[in-house]
């Protein structure tokens, strides 16, 4: 049925791999194409067991599936994978191997995953930031290690809120002054780091109070852990980076959240990348004095001694007190941490969003109806054809295209009905492969794996593949997740 929908046309290939309950590597294949009515379709095509995840093995498995279904490999016009080396490698990665056979199968790395890698790399690229996130995780683990400490943290928050209300420092109202817990950051969702940092700033005093109680009443190693945690979070560097990272992540969080949306269009994504870089540069140029003042006020509010920023800074690697004495503490925090953190973030974003596929997407935005208020860029359409898809058009068609674009710019773009269009369907998404793995875990249970190992035969495999294809149908998968708790998969 899917092959009939494609009807010999061009299609994009979306691939990802994951391990199932029996620890077998499974590769999900999704095809993306225009149907005969001109709508973009995204179809789950198959789940294939592969012995390993080397690029050559994945390529052979993909080619086998496509050839069995009489799909022309030369019709591949796009590849969407994650950013691991076996997928995106320029020489031996899966995208490179397929591009050698299909030169117009351009690889587009998921924007959300690119940003995740850029933010994670920036957090590890500056020593002060790397130390900060290690200490932040340690503090959260110490305070949240037991329900008793969680209760102590809640009690300390309640006392602080009551005190601030009594001296008119807090407003009273619905949903205000909520009591919570310190948020743990997840590696795969960078936006969770903003919640983690923000929760510690909000609960800084209660956290310190809990740590002091553990130091006073605790025994053994936990007492030492609490002492180390308290010493870490009350240093000026930790508090400075805490506020610095909060402001940086507030700028990047909108881009993080937007790129996770299923219906995010590529035009808006590209604009958000550009505006994020501009805001980071603006923060670097204008925000130093305001950030330093904010950290100073925070220190005063929590009765912590403020260091003399004009005093000399001595690095840990200095061999004598005279080395590096030309640098003050202010210079260290401004240049070595503040500027370096923002520069590293900008460098990573520029690096992750500067490849050839970004130019392809930028040129494609010319066709988006949301650009009705901008001049139609017919030159970009011509460049798209001549640079990226030259073999899809013969010389006569290229000449005709230029004339057609002139008529299009006058006749279609200026038409009242054209201005009523909303958007070109979402482009270059790789989320369906992730949803196929979620459905796989619902169906391929431990009991089924045991049956598969002991009684595996061709009919069972065919039955499983048919059922999986039905479950991952885009029309039913959402409802399946909603009913997952009440549903049992028939054996």
**What pLDDT, on the 0 to 100 scale, is given for residue 426?**
40
With b meaning 16 or more CB within 10 Å and e meaning fewer, what string describes 35-60?
eeeeeebbbbbbbbebeebebebbbe
Map tokens 């909060």 to a residue.
246
Phi-psi region of 175 (alpha: psi -120 to 50; beta: other; left: phi over 0): left
Q: Chain centroid to CA 203: how far?
A: 27
CB 87 within 8 A of CB 99: no
**What pLDDT, on the 0 to 100 scale, is given for residue 457?**
52
CA distance linking residue 108 with residue 103, whole number of Å: 14
CA distance linking residue 19 with residue 23, whole number of Å: 5
CA distance linking residue 479 with residue 30, whole number of Å: 20
**What pLDDT, on the 0 to 100 scale, is given for residue 452?**
60
Q: Chain centroid to CA 58: how far?
A: 24
Report the predicted TM-score, pTM, of the whole model to 2 decimal places: 0.70
CA count, 13 A, side-chain hemisphere, 321: 1
CA distance linking residue 252 with residue 111, whole number of Å: 13
* Strands of the sheet with 25-34, listed across from one edge: 40-49, 25-34, 11-19, 76-80, 106-107
CA count, 13 A, side-chain hemisphere, 427: 22
How many C-beta neighbours within 10 Å does residue 385 have?
A: 17
- Pairing verdict, β 25-34 and 40-49: antiparallel
Map tokens 């397929």 to a residue.
98
Mark the ranges of the chain whose per-residue pLDDT is less than 50: 175, 319-322, 324, 424-428, 481, 484-491
User: CA torsion, points 56, 57, 58, 60, in degrees to nearest 10?
Assistant: 80
CA distance linking residue 171 with residue 386, whole number of Å: 62
**What pLDDT, on the 0 to 100 scale, is given for residue 485?**
43
**What pLDDT, on the 0 to 100 scale, is given for residue 181?**
79
- Pairing verdict, β 25-34 and 106-107: unpaired
183-233: pLDDT as tens digits: 887 666 667 888 899 999 988 999 999 999 999 887 778 899 999 999 999
Which positions ≥6 away from 235 have C-beta within 8 Å?
A: none
């Amino acid at each position: 049925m899917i092959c009939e929908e494609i009807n010999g046309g061009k299609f994009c290939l979306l691939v990802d791999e994951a391990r199932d309950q029996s620890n077998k590597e499974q590769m999900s294949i999704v095809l993306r194409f225009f149907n005969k009515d001109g709508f973009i379709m995204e179809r789950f095509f198959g789940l294939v067991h592969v012995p390993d995840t080397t690029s050559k093995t994945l390529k052979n498995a993909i080619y086998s599936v496509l050839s069995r279904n009489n799909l022309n490999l030369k019709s591949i016009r796009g590849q969407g994978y994650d950013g691991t080396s076996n997928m995106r490698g320029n020489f031996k990665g899966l995208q490179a191997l397929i591009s050698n056979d299909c030169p117009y199968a351009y690889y587009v790395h998921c924007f959300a995953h690119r940003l995740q890698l850029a933010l994670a790399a920036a957090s590890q690229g500056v020593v002060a930031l790397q130390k900060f996130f290690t200490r932040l995780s340690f503090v959260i683990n110490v305070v949240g290690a037991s329900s008793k400490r969680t209760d102590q943290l809640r009690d300390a928050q309640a006392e602080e809120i009551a005190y601030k209300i009594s001296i008119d420092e807090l407003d009273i109202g619905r949903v205000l002054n909520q009591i919570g817990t310190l948020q743990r950051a997840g590696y795969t969702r960078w936006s969770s780091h903003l919640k983690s940092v923000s929760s510690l700033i909000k609960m800084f005093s209660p956290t310190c109070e809990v740590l002091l109680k553990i130091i006073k009443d605790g025994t053994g190693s936990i007492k030492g852990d609490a002492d180390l945690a308290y010493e870490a979070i009350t240093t000026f560097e930790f508090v400075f980076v805490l506020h610095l990272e909060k402001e940086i992540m507030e700028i990047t969080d909108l881009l993080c959240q937007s790129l996770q949306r299923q219906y995010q269009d590529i035009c808006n994504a590209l604009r958000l990348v550009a505006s994020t870089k501009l805001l980071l540069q603006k923060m670097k140029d204008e925000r130093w004095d305001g950030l330093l003042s904010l950290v100073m006020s925070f220190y005063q509010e929590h009765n912590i001694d403020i260091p003399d920023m004009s005093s000399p800074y001595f690095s840990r690697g200095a061999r004598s007190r005279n080395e590096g004495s030309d640098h003050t503490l202010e210079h260290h925090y401004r240049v070595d941490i503040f500027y370096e953190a923002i520069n590293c973030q900008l460098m990573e974003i520029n690096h992750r969003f500067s490849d050839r596929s970004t130019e392809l997407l930028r040129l494609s935005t010319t066709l988006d109806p949301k650009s009705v208020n901008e001049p139609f860029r017919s030159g970009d359409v011509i460049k798209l054809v001549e640079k990226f898809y030259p073999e899809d058009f013969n010389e006569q068609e290229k000449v005709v295209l230029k004339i057609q674009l002139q008529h299009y710019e006058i006749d279609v773009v200026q038409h009242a009905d054209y201005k009523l269009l909303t958007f070109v369907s979402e482009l270059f998404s790789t989320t369906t492969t992730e949803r196929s793995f979620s459905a796989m875990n619902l169906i391929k249970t431990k009991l089924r794996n045991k049956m598969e190992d002991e009684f595996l035969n061709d009919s069972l495999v065919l039955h499983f593949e048919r059922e999986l294809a039905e479950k991952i149908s885009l029309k039913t998968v959402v409802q399946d997740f909603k009913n997952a708790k009440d549903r049992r998969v028939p054996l």
